[in-house]
Amino acid sequence: MVRHLISVSDSLDLRLSRSGEIDCKNYVRLGYVRLTHGVYGRLPDETGLGAYQIRRQRFLAYVRAVVAAYPRGSIALFGPTALQVLGVALPASLEDWEHCHLLVQSGTSRPRRDGVVAHRCNRLVRPHDFDGLPVRH
């Protein structure tokens, strides 16, 4: 069963601190929130959304921030994160809204961030692009 999908790709304004335009000292003044280390964004409007939709929208914003922090092609979403991004209804015991699971090829640097779980693989198969996110499934 696939639940109603929310796309935040068009409404999420992401900025990386390495661009030099935003940092930990001025992001609040500029109207951004810190999504993860070095990545700031403006979250979409949550009015009129249910509890599940709000949780999913915030999770998608966080996942987009994590993906934006790493070079394209070096990681792919994996496991429960990939399934939740795809909108697959998981049993509550398998849902993981606090962590972003990534697949990283062996021999490459492993992401070390709070809330990111890196899984290693021998060969990273080219991920599929789903709404701008690299999904392994």
Q: At what angle do helices 79-86 and 51-68 cross, to 10 degrees?
A: 120
Distance CA 73, CA 127 (A): 8
pLDDT at residue 110 greater than cutoff 70: no
CA dihedral 62, 116, 124, 108 (to 10 degrees): 120
Q: pLDDT digits over 26-42, tens only?
A: 999 999 999 888 889 98
Which residues share a beta bridge with 41? 14, 33
pLDDT at residue 6 greater than cutoff 80: no
Q: pLDDT digits over 114-134, tens only?
A: 889 988 888 767 777 888 888
Query: What is the DSSP secondary-structure string of 91-136?
Result: -TTT--SS-EEEEEETTSPPP--TTEEEEEESS-PPPEEETTEEE-
